[in-house]
């Protein structure tokens, strides 16, 4: 049975191709059509995420890993702000992986990632992730196809291990159109308060758009699994993006059937004077 918000259609089934070219980045099938309704529903879900995160932290049993990937300007930072805007910082961490440097280069590519995975009762959000090691590395031909496929297998094994040891994994590809990216990059240039976000290298990467789409499509197809599913989230609309991510997260957290821990002693007769 599909969720009332009908987000299951955005999940990539294991062994299937995501076919990004056929997915409309501006679509929101199954979601409220009006922006105001989407914003209102997202606000409700933000409160629910807050309550469920409190429960997750108190129960101290489950771990949650959220992976956000997407082209520049797809809204990874904005997703974090809106989905987790009401959450107590206690028990939530956002990690952004930059180009490896120093000690990181002395180890395998998953070493620095494994160090940041969530502990019990914690939500960790990867703003970019280990998938950069099968995306930018492939587009720039720093690894060959054989190495890329080996890494798909390694990532699947890594995520399976995390899942089998109590981690719920949700992976979101924030799917924007090339036209929308152009508008957002231009907006950064036009707004002095946002100009600091602009990097001329973004324009060089933009020229490789088709190669990135192919790299994303192949990576998603190879690594969307029952234990670590990918969701392709249409992200030209920020309100659609936020509502979908919030809905999927709440559904996953509620599915854990969490309970507040029972005190070790009976405190029912204690009265605070």
- pLDDT the model gives residue 68: 98
pLDDT average, residue stretch 18-27: 94
Q: What DSSP assignment string belongs to 163-197?
A: HHTTEEEEEEEEE--HHHHHHHHHHHHH-TTTGGG
User: Is the CATH number of domain 8-254 3.40.50.10800?
Assistant: no
Prediction pTM value:
0.94
Burial 187-217 (b: 16+ CB within 10 A, else e): ebeeeeeeeebbeeeeeebbeeeeebbebbb
> pLDDT of 184-218, one tens digit each?
999 999 999 999 989 899 999 999 999 999 999 99
pLDDT at 2 over 70: no
The band of 28, judged by pLDDT with boundaries at 50, 70 and 90, is confident
| Alpha-carbon distance values, 166 to 17, 64, 120, 158 (Å) | 28, 8, 8, 13
Top-confidence residue, 5 or 137 = 137
| Other C-beta atoms lying within 10 Å of the C-beta of residue 175 | 27
Q: Report the distance separating Cα 131 and Cα 54, nearest Å.
A: 29
Helix axis angle for 238-254 and 76-83, nearest 10°, is 60
Confidence tier at 5 by pLDDT (50, 70, 90): low
Residue 234 has pLDDT above 60, yes or no: yes
Strand order in the sheet with 92-96: 11-12, 230-234, 167-175, 63-70, 123-127, 92-96
pLDDT at 84 over 70: yes
Q: Is the dihedral of CA 163, 58, 129, 171 positive or negative?
A: positive
CA 173 to chain centre: 7
Give residue 8's pLDDT band: very low, low, confident or very high (50, 70, 90): confident
């Amino acid at each position: 049975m599909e969720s009332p918000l009908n987000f299951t259609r955005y999940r990539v089934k294991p062994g299937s191709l995501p076919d990004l070219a056929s997915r409309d980045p501006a679509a929101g099938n199954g979601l409220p059509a009006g922006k105001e309704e989407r914003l209102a529903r997202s606000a409700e879900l933000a409160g629910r995420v807050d309550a469920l995160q409190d429960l997750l932290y108190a129960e101290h049993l489950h771990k949650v890993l959220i992976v956000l990937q997407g082209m520049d300007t797809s809204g990874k930072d904005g997703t974090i702000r809106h989905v987790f805007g009401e959450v107590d910082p206690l028990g939530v961490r956002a990690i952004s992986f930059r180009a490896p440097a120093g000690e990181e280069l002395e180890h395998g590519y998953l070493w620095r990632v494994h160090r940041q995975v969530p502990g019990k009762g914690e939500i960790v959000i990867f703003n970019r992730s280990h998938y950069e090691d099968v995306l930018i590395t492939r587009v720039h031909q720093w690894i060959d196809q054989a190495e890329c496929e080996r890494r798909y297998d390694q990532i699947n094994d890594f995520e399976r291990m995390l899942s089998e040891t109590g981690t719920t994994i949700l992976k979101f590809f924030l799917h924007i159109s090339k036209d929308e990216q152009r508008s957002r990059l231009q907006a950064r240039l036009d707004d002095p308060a946002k100009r600091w976000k602009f990097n001329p290298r973004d324009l060089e990467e933009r020229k490789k758009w088709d190669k990135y789409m192919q790299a994303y499509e192949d990576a998603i197809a190879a690594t969307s699994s029952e234990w670590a599913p990918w969701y392709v989230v249409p992200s030209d609309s920020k309100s659609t993006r936020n509502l979908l991510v919030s809905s999927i997260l709440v559904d996953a957290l509620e599915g854990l059937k969490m309970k507040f821990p029972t005190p070790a002693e009976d405190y029912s007769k204690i009265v605070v004077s």
